[in-house]
Amino acid sequence: MDPDGRRVVFDVASHLHVALRRPWLLDHLDAVMATVSEPDWRQPDPRPGRERFYRQHLDLKRWMRVVVDFGDEPAWVVTVTIQHHDPMEQQ
């Protein structure tokens, strides 16, 4: 669930995308879903119907970014990445 109570899943398409691009993140699915359920920051994605969820890592230097597509029911994780810059500084 995201903070608005919408159901979000990490489905087969999510798994395949992450496995092909960032397979090491498959070991951190709890962190992926925690980023969606309890984000430190949220913002709309450039693509309509999607939202970006961010959570700061424990090292306080990196951020996990999870993009969720709300065009389907349930919503699903599109991609996951780690970034070094604070997403709030992009505003």
Number of structural domains in the chain: 1
Lowest mean pLDDT among 5-9, 16-20, 24-28, 82-86: 82-86
Average of per-residue pLDDT across 46-61: 88
Please check whether residue 18 lies inside any domain of the structure: no
pTM above 0.95, yes or no: no
**What domain range is 72 assigned to?**
8-12+24-90
- What is the distance between the alpha carbons of residues 24 and 73, in angstroms, rounded to a whole number? 27
Higher-pLDDT residue of 57 and 47 is 47
pLDDT digits (tens, 9 = 90+) for 15-50: 999 999 999 999 999 999 999 999 999 999 999 999
Domain assignment present for residue 75? The answer is: yes
In this structure, the strands spanning 41-44 and 8-9 are unpaired
